[in-house]
Amino acid sequence: MTPTSGEFRDGAHWLPVRVYYEDTDFTRVVYHANFLRFMERGRSDFIRMAGIDHVFLDGQDDTAFAIARVEIDFKKPARIDDALVVRTVFHAVSGVRLHADQQVLRGDDVLAQAKVTAVCVGPDGRPRKPPPAMVQLLKPWLSGN
């Protein structure tokens, strides 16, 4: 079943994504870098639905996230008009890092999967521990809990 909007279920966040012409190359196959864009949307929607939107982050001394590492495996192509789902699970907050696993699925087929490490940064761009209020909002959604 494909959800109609981002939702939490089965311990994960699920975000539907439709493949549009702009996401594809000349063969109408999704350009590989666009899988990263789909995953970014999944992480952003997860964080927003957990109560950590941009207004909240601004109120936390302009806290932001930067991606420090992405390890991605491409399994199968996605094509124009495909209905995809991005599945996101955050595992832990450790020091300045947030660790997540993501998959892009078409039905039961895994098209791409990634391990992502995001780093919390301050307005100067330097890594710093996430504000305690943010960690509290994330805590119920971390798979390690």
In order along the chain (145 residues), what is the average pLDDT of each group of 10 residues?
Answer: 71 95 94 97 93 79 89 97 97 93 98 97 91 89 73
Q: How many CB atoms lie within 10 A of CB 66?
A: 12
pLDDT at 4: 54
pLDDT at 14: 97
Q: Which residues of 83-94 are buried (b: 16+ CB within 10 A; e: fewer)?
A: ebbbbbbbeebe
Question: Model-level pTM?
Answer: 0.90
Cα 141 to Cα 145: distance, rounded to the nearest angstrom:
8
Please identify, in words, the CATH class of the domain defined by 7-141.
alpha beta
Could you say which of 10, 23, 25, 58 is catalytic? 25
Cα 63 to Cα 107: distance, rounded to the nearest angstrom:
36
Q: How many CB atoms lie within 10 A of CB 139?
A: 12
Q: How many CB atoms lie within 10 A of CB 33?
A: 8
pLDDT at 91: 92
pLDDT at 58: 76
Residue extents of the structural domains in the chain: 7-141
Residue 25 appears among annotated catalytic residues: yes
